[in-house]
Homo-oligomer: A and B are copies of this chain.
Amino acid sequence: MSLPRVTVWNEFRHEKTDPAVQAVYPDGIQVAIAAFLQKAGFPARTATLDEPEHGLTEAVLAETDVLTWWGHMAHGDVKDEIAARVQKRVLEGMGLIVLHSGHMSKPFMRLMGTGCDLKWREAGENERIWVVEPGHPIADGLPEHFDLPHEEMYGERFDIPAPDQLVFISWFKGGDVFRSGCCWTRGAGKIFYFRPGHETFPTYYQSEIQQVIINAAKWAAPGNLPNVTFGQKRIPLEKLD
């Protein structure tokens, strides 16, 4: 099976204005993510908020098997029309990987139907990610737990629909826990939310994090989908009396 075509979307605002972020991701988070995907053999391109149509034209989405989404300070700048377009493509089968602060992005919130809020704290504390579903494809090749030395804390209650599969739970030194790797199917599309990735930490350079995103991109790729029809069916398949 050939690897899915991934479009790596990033808000790409912090990187333009905040030296602390520039120091970690000088070319933007999207470039860091696309780089390790390309190295792993994925046809990966990038798209960002300030491009026309946020870089997510109908043509781009039509050629995208899996979309990754990082956004934070400018969720409100994403046009409703583009958010609806992404939602529609997910329902048609495109995979969606929502990263970190993307939990409050328009496409994710539309697909979840819930508030998607959580607790947070920027103290650079230690995060430990535990694999709770070792047989899941997204846990492939991981250790049973791994640490991120410094991360923003996200804590429960995370206001999401109960995930179809819960793959990871995070432990934080400050006393919090979080469902940090969550899978859902919506329409024909697969969605994975992955917690880590604060913009001031080198999270996307860490090998386990890269492994998770690579696994998730493979898992979320659509196959050869059944042709589902909707609407009125005047003629029944079986004879009525």
Contact = CB atoms under 8 A, between A and B. Distances in A.
Nearest to A176: B171
A110 B134 CA distance: 21
Interface residues of A, number: 79
A16 interface: no
Given A112-B113, A171-B177, A236-B174, A158 B187 contact: no
A81 to B, nearest CB: 15
Contact of A184 (B159, B161, B176, B223): B161
A119 to B, nearest CB: 5
Interface in A125-148: 125, 128, 130-137, 139-145
Specify which of A128, A176, A179, A228 lies most central, judged by the most chain B CB atoms within 10 Å of its CB: A228
B226 A139 contact: yes
Task: Count this chain's copies in the assembly.
Answer: 4
Given A128-B237, A162-B165, A232-B120, A143 B186 contact: no
Interface of A: 1, 87, 91, 93, 110-115, 117-121, 123, 125, 128, 130-137, 139-145, 153, 155-159, 161-162, 164-166, 169-177, 179, 184-190, 222-234, 236-238, 240-241
Given A125-B240, A171-B176, 9 more contacts: A91-B114, A119-B231, A128-B175, A131-B226, A134-B157, A135-B189, A161-B161, A174-B238, A176-B233
